[in-house]
Amino acid sequence: MRAFQVTSHTQPPSMADVETPKPQAGEVLLDIAACGLNFADLLMSKGTYQDTPALPFTLGMEVCGTVVAQGPGVSEPAVGTRVAVFGGKGGLAEQGVFPADRCTTVPDGMPAEAAAGFMVAYGTSHLALKRRANLQPGETLLVLGAAGGVGLTAVEVGKAMGARVIAVARGAEKLAVAKEAGADHLIDCDTDDVKAVVKSLGGADVVYDPVGGELFKAALGACNREARILAIGFASGDVPPVPANILLVKNVSVIGFYWGGYLTFNPKALTDSLAELMEWYTTGRLQPHISHVMPLDKAPEALDLLRTRKSTGKVVVTP
């Protein structure tokens, strides 16, 4: 079968013909219908992600597919079931093996492309905002990188939780996407003074930051007292230092959040969160935004859309 693999951290990933894997104990084999891409895939290819697998490995953290075989000891999900699963790797291929206990049944009306790009982005925003930041109805949520894969879901989830949402993104086109997702106020970080505009709007109670760098500093300066800043990632490439004196004076909390980490110490938190999100989807409260769907042989171009920030929402590859 075809698989898009990383064989060296100093060379670009490439397509390879590999043996179809066989499911081991606790695993299922999927025919992969779609694979959602994430910024972490770019980091993995360079060997800089915290959970980078050993070489060689197939990129692609989250997929939607159909169960075609079960490993020893597996009874569910049954062969023929359409599932979504976060495997951490293996998604950019025609078939793949994944842990059976991580599989979530996909609702009949949910397209494979939507299901494949659903778990990491929506799961990150929902668990971060609800569990870690304790976002309350009526609070002001400031979302940085608001048109990106996780940022756009933070806008949507924040609105579903009753917050007033301020979206920060680059350019009118990306801001229009954030507005469509429910943002109440829009800030163009290329032309606007983010700190000044947020303060003029009453300040931020919760900050959702997948960007880091200078935007983190601007957001910190616009925080209200007892604000919570969620450190989601550093797409800017700049991990900002945190001035503890400002945290002290304003009683601000900076909260780290890594969605994948819950797989090791509290997987029930993930499954409960995803169950609630699937219910929100089936009742029409969530409308996943996918800017690009591309075939497997275009995987390099698909990843480049993330690298150059030319996508909005999710980029999905369909083997």
The model's pLDDT over 163-221, given as tens digits with 9 standing for 90+, comes to: 999 999 999 999 999 999 999 999 999 999 999 999 999 999 999 999 999 999 999 99
pTM score, two decimals?
Answer: 0.88
Per-residue confidence (pLDDT) for residue 167, from 0 to 100: 98
Closest CA to 260 of 302, 298, 232, 292: 232
Percent of residues, the chain, with pLDDT higher than 70? 100
If you classify domain 2-118+288-318 with CATH, what class do you get?
A: alpha beta
- Summarised one tens digit per residue, pLDDT across range 19-32 is 999 999 999 999 99
Instruction: Give the whole-angstrom CA distance, residue 2 versus residue 58.
Output: 10
Per-residue confidence (pLDDT) for residue 271, from 0 to 100: 86
With 0-12 / 13-18 / 19 or more C-beta atoms within 10 angstroms meaning exposed / middle / buried, residue 78 is exposed
| Domain residue limits, the chain | 2-118+288-318, 121-260
pLDDT higher than threshold 90 for residue 50: no
Local confidence band at 305 (pLDDT 50, 70, 90 cut-offs): very high
If you classify domain 121-260 with CATH, what class do you get?
A: alpha beta
Instruction: Give the whole-angstrom CA distance, residue 45 versus residue 12.
Output: 7
- Summarised one tens digit per residue, pLDDT across range 88-107 is 999 999 999 999 999 999 99
